[in-house]
């Protein structure tokens, strides 16, 4: 089990559709991802029911961040654009509003990094983060990610464009 005794990372279950629905349909989070329109419960239900957690086959892995004590869904953490040859992937994380600022994201990222290094034998992880998203930058920097690139005007926010930073974390550097 992927856990640190406070949080657990696990595969999505049909019971997670309502939590996914709330997070995926929060317009305030759309600037940090690739979603720009609401998703239906049916779309999310279909996704969960056809979910293939084999990162080697599909190139991505979605994990649900749950609280170990009560099983409450605290967010989601994803690996995507997995490159099997170069043993790297990108990380995306979304923590539900009620769990932000409580160390849940830090714990989830730490558990994920340990899994990626130990189980998957990955060499590195990366993330693209809006330059003005200071809490997310702090989260990744706290885990040891370093800013290695700058993407000017990379993300559209309404009629404005904001910069993004590329972060990398190397295992066994």
Share of the chain above pLDDT 70, in %: 95
For 33-51, what is each residue's pLDDT tens digit? 656 678 888 888 888 888 8
Distance between CA 79 and CA 61 in Å, rounded?
A: 5
How large is the average pLDDT for residues 24-36?
Answer: 70
Amino acid 114: pLDDT = 96
CA neighbor of 60 nearest in space, from 76, 40, 43, 83 = 83
Distance between CA 147 and CA 143 in Å, rounded?
A: 12
For 96-149, what is each residue's pLDDT tens digit? 989 999 999 999 999 999 999 999 999 999 999 999 999 999 999 999 999 999
For 53-68, what is each residue's pLDDT tens digit? 899 999 999 999 999 9
């Amino acid at each position: 089990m992927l856990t640190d005794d406070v949080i657990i990372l696990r595969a999505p279950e049909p019971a997670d559709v309502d939590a996914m629905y709330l997070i995926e349909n929060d317009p305030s989070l759309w600037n940090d991802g690739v979603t720009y329109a609401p998703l239906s419960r049916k779309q999310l239900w279909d996704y969960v029911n056809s979910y293939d957690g084999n990162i080697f086959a599909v190139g991505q892995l979605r994990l649900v961040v749950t609280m170990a004590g009560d099983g409450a869904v605290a967010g989601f953490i994803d690996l995507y654009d997995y490159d099997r040859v170069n043993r790297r992937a990108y990380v995306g994380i979304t923590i539900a509003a009620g769990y932000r600022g409580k160390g849940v994201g830090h714990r989830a990222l730490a558990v994920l990094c340990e899994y990626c290094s130990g189980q998957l034998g990955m060499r590195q992880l990366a993330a693209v983060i809006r330059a003005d998203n200071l809490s997310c930058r702090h989260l990744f920097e706290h885990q040891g990610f370093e800013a290695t690139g700058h993407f000017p005007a990379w993300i559209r926010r309404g009629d404005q464009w904001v910069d993004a930073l590329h972060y990398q974390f190397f295992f066994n550097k």
